[in-house]
A and B are shown apart, each in its own frame.
Chain A
Amino acid sequence: MAELKVGLWGDSSIDGSFYTSYNPDLRTLDYASFKKKIKNGNYKVEIESLSSRQLDIIHRHFPQYDNTFRDTFEYFGQGALYDEDHDYQRTVLNRTGDLIKYRVHMGDGPGIYGRWHAFIRAAMFYNINITEWLTIDKALAVAYMIHFKVAPMQSFEFTGRDSPENIPDEQKPSWRENNIAFLQECRSRVSNASVETLDGILGQSFRAASPD
């Protein structure tokens, strides 16, 4: 979330506000504490702006919250989206000066899922598109459950070299056909989930911990 204050360095960020209000043992969010920190941070304008930009992209690609929308999050969680077409904008300059291509669209590093959930929680606090964000948050929770099971590799981590033929079996679209029961279980788990239940799934991502 480039334009928001992010980072787990205390309360002065949205995800930090979540992280420092989240109890990983009980897997619960102290909502009063989170609310207070968000309020003190004055994030409303930033959150409204980013919410509107994110929803605009989602609406343009997915006119309905249907199975296609659901699948895009599931593929993201699985690390099945290998993309060779956008290297010019999906490359990281590492500390030793090497250019590293991130060709797999996936949640890189711990906390990505939790960060987005924290943003969604803050949007909900400000009554911004609550129903839509809850739908997106559920899709995100399924993505994290799949991510945790598959533990996808980024393209530069593939055995051999970065190439579509070296995608691990678990990250191939065919994996879904062999794991239909698991996918159904994940979908059922979130279908009627409250946002508090989603706290306990997505909050785990900050420590790369099990959502189960």
Chain B
Amino acid sequence: MDNISKFTNFWYEFDDMSNPGFVLLDENGKLVMEEAKKAQNTA
């Protein structure tokens, strides 16, 4: 079995650049509020 972390790291970086649908969470797993507003505005 391959070590898949090298693959997940690649896709994480790639998706981070190209996926507009994700929002940002803080260190407690709560939504960062500016992101929530942005998401609401584009919904």
A interface residue numbers (CB < 8 A to B):
1-2, 53-54, 57, 61-62, 68, 71-72, 75-76, 80-83, 85-93, 95, 99, 102, 105, 173-174
- The answer on a CB contact under 8 Å between B7 and A2 is no
Q: How large is the interface on B (under 10, 10 to 19, 20 to 34, 35 or more residues)?
A: 20 to 34
How far, in angstroms, from A91 to B28 measured CA to CA in the complex? Answer: 13
How far, in angstroms, from A212 to B3 measured CA to CA in the complex? Answer: 30
Q: A61-B6, A105-B15, A174-B1 are in contact. List 17 more A-B contacts (CB 8 A).
A: A1-B18, A2-B20, A53-B17, A68-B6, A72-B6, A75-B2, A75-B7, A86-B12, A89-B12, A89-B22, A89-B25, A90-B12, A90-B22, A92-B21, A99-B25, A105-B12, A173-B4
Residue in B12, B15, B23 whose CB lies within 8 Å of A93: B23
Residues of A within 8 A of B20 (CB): 2
- The answer on a CB contact under 8 Å between B12 and A87 is no
- The answer on a CB contact under 8 Å between B17 and A57 is yes
- Knowing A2-B18, A71-B2, the reply to whether A92 touches B23 (Cβ < 8 A) is yes
- B5 → chain A closest CB, angstroms: 8
How far, in angstroms, from A35 to B15 measured CA to CA in the complex? Answer: 27
How far, in angstroms, from A92 to B16 measured CA to CA in the complex? Answer: 13
- The answer on a CB contact under 8 Å between A81 and B36 is no
Residues of B within 8 A of A1 (CB): 18
- A69 → chain B closest CB, angstroms: 9
How far, in angstroms, from A68 to B21 measured CA to CA in the complex? Answer: 28
- The answer on a CB contact under 8 Å between B10 and A85 is no
Residues of A within 8 A of B18 (CB): 1-2, 54
- Knowing A72-B11, A95-B43, the reply to whether A81 touches B4 (Cβ < 8 A) is yes
When C-beta atoms are compared, the residue in chain A nearest to B20 turns out to be A2
- The answer on a CB contact under 8 Å between B31 and A93 is yes
Residues of B within 8 A of A83 (CB): 8, 11-12
